[in-house]
Amino acid sequence: MAARGHRDIFAADMAWQEGESPGIRYARFLLEEGSGTSPMVILSRFEPGEVVGAHTHDTNYFEYVIEGEQTVGKVTFGKGDVRLVSAGTGYGPIVIGPQGCTVLIVFQEAARAMTIPKGQTATGN
């Protein structure tokens, strides 16, 4: 049942997209459609052994490991672990463990959530 201000999205109806490689899939949700300042929620699934290069984001975010594990830099995070990352903080690479990894990420502002590779700025310089 959907009511005003309420949306239900079932697993079978999620719009999964391919990430930077075929082993990365994600579903993206805006809490307030059409608003760049809205928080954005991303559910990401990584295949075993995937590597995401060092990067940053221009917004704060919360990440919860649902299953599997990932090593961020020298620290390994597993099921139930949380990462809280401030805007502009560089980290990585992220190396996915042998069982893969599923994470839920909440970005404070959707418009500022894009991945910025290490050594670049939001404008690409």
**Residue 43, token pair as written in the block:** 């559910």
Give me the pLDDT at residue 107, please. 94
Q: How many residues does the chain have?
A: 125
CA angle (60 as vertex; 16, 94 as ends), nearest 5: 60
- Indicate the pLDDT class of residue 93, thresholds 50, 70 and 90: very high
Give yes or no for a contact between 118 and 92, defined as CB atoms under 8 angstroms apart. Answer: yes
Q: Residue 87 has what pLDDT?
A: 93
For the chain, percent of residues with pLDDT exceeding 90: 66
**Tell me, what's the pLDDT at 113?**
82
Long-range residue pairs from 21-26, CB within 8 A, at least 24 positions apart, any chain: 21/50, 22/47, 23/47, 23/49, 23/50, 23/96, 24/50, 24/52
Whole-structure pTM value: 0.86
Structure-token pair, residue 83: 């990462």
Looking at the DSSP bridge assignments, the partners of residue 46 are 24, 101
The 10s digit of each residue's pLDDT in 30-61 is 888 887 788 999 999 999 999 999 899 999 99
Residue-range domains of the chain with CATH: 16-117 (2.60.120.10)
Quick one: pLDDT at residue 4?
Answer: 63
The structure tokens listed for 115 are 């991945």
Task: Give the CA-trace dihedral at 117, 57, 115, 17, to 10 degrees.
Answer: 160
Contact 47, 23 (CB under 8 A): yes
